[in-house]
Amino acid sequence: AEPVETEEEKQKRLRLERLVEIEAGEVRRQARVAEDKFGYLFLFALQLLPLVGTDRLESVLYFFGVAVTTVYLGGRQEVIDKPEQVSKNNALYAPIGASFAIGGLYLLLKVGIDITSLYAIMVTIFGALAISDIGVPILRNAFTQIDFATAEVPVPKVLADKLNLDQPTLPLDGLVTLALGVVCTLIYWAPAAMEQKFLISNAIAWALGMVSLGAISLGSFQTGAILLAGLFCYDIFWVFGTDVMMTVATKVEAPVKFLYTAPPSDTPRSYPFSVLGLGDVVIPGLFVRLMAKVDEVLQPQNLSYFNVATGAYAVGLLACFGVNEIFHNGQPALLYLDPSLVGSALACAAVNNQVADLWDFKEEEEGEE
């Protein structure tokens, strides 16, 4: 008779299988980052742009470059675990939930209750973990001479027991990137003006954005269209109809937006930065990532849905910047991005003779083959 596996042996086997699964995922992520290395290098180079200048042109180039490159890289990135799929109901009610959240923050500010610090603490904790995660494949590509698959750091047995480790070691790459995340968080909270450390804030926001793009899936074209349509209305209302969006964006200081030093002006500004909200990257980015999945399944013969979506995002963002430049007031970016993305996807489907296929497209759910 075959020996019966004890519960302890089973748990140990499952942990080992999980480690093998994680390493296989890290190999895929490393390979994809290597393929997209010029995109990552371009993002790094953009962080030097403030040294060139802080005029309007530089800020537009910075936001445009960071946003479009992040959407492209986030749409192509490999992930270890299957992302959480958004349901149609969640997509339908997302604008209502977002409205309660932003409205609540606004009311708290108006009655003199400032929860900025608490909110920023939570965001930076998640930001450190995001840097730890998204930094691993970048680190592996930066130091190819190190075999990170086997490189480990010994830890005290007490800690190993607490973490339920089979061996008293932790992976070197994860520890290095976690340390980097902690350092970024400490710099963010250092007693220095935000003008001196806004790039650190942007790095945390970028990591949060990339992790979000990998952890969430729209699941189907219809879900994506519903979400973008709802947030299209949400963005227009809160930006044009009230002062809520601008108040929260400038009064709540946390790494959930991209900042660039505002251009010199004769009139004093209440907020010393130009701002691009993280949601204006992540929400459209989820749709662009969905188009990458559409490419994999529908195998279009004429136009790539992903490439068209990335281009549509760039065009929509340029339109937003252009209108902002003309009228000199804050613009709801999703007003330009959402129609550009959904319209271009349907046009691309028409060119590929796949309109019905795109409209009915659904990703496989967990457990489906």
Mean pLDDT to the nearest integer, 282-300: 97
* H/E segment holding residue 22: helix 7-35
For residue 368, pLDDT over 60 is answered with: no
pTM of the predicted structure, to 2 decimals: 0.94
**Share of residues in the chain with pLDDT > 90 (%):** 83
Q: Residues 36, 133, 173, 235: which is the catalytic one?
A: 235
- C-alpha dist (Å) from residue 17 to 82, 199, 214, 273: 16, 39, 22, 48
- C-alpha dist (Å) from residue 133 to 5, 29, 124, 363: 34, 11, 14, 24
Backbone phi and psi for residue 129, each to the nearest 5 degrees, phi listed first: -65, -35
First to last CA, the chain: 34
Q: Is 357 a catalytic residue?
A: no
Q: How confident is the model at residue 218 (pLDDT cuts 50, 70, 90)?
A: very high
- C-alpha dist (Å) from residue 252 to 67, 109, 160, 190, 200: 21, 9, 39, 17, 17
Each residue's pLDDT tens digit, 318-360: 999 999 999 888 899 999 999 999 999 999 999 999 999 999 9
How far apart CA 331 and CA 300 sit, in angstroms, is: 34
Each residue's pLDDT tens digit, 74-96: 999 999 999 999 999 999 999 99
Each residue's pLDDT tens digit, 15-55: 889 999 999 999 999 999 999 999 999 999 999 999 999 99
Q: Residues 280, 295, 357, 360: which is the catalytic one?
A: 280
Q: How confident is the model at residue 3 (pLDDT cuts 50, 70, 90)?
A: confident
The CB density around residue 330, as the number of other CB atoms within 10 Å, is 15
Amino acid identity for residue 150 in this structure: T
How far apart CA 14 and CA 7 sit, in angstroms, is: 10
DSSP states of 60-71: HHHHHHHHHHHH
For residue 369, pLDDT over 70 is answered with: no
DSSP states of 245-281: HHHHHHHS-SSSEEEEEPPP-SS--SSSEEEEETHHH
How far apart CA 299 and CA 288 sit, in angstroms, is: 16
Mean pLDDT to the nearest integer, 124-137: 97
Query: Would you say 119 and 253 are in contact if contact means Cβ atoms under 8 Å apart?
Result: no
> What number of residues does the chain have?
369
Q: Is 81 a catalytic residue?
A: no
CA-based nearest residue to 137, from 225, 46, 28, 226 = 28
Q: What is the pLDDT of residue 365?
A: 64
For residue 57, pLDDT over 90 is answered with: yes
Higher-confidence residue of 159 and 206: namely 206
Q: What is the pLDDT of residue 367?
A: 43
For residue 183, pLDDT over 50 is answered with: yes
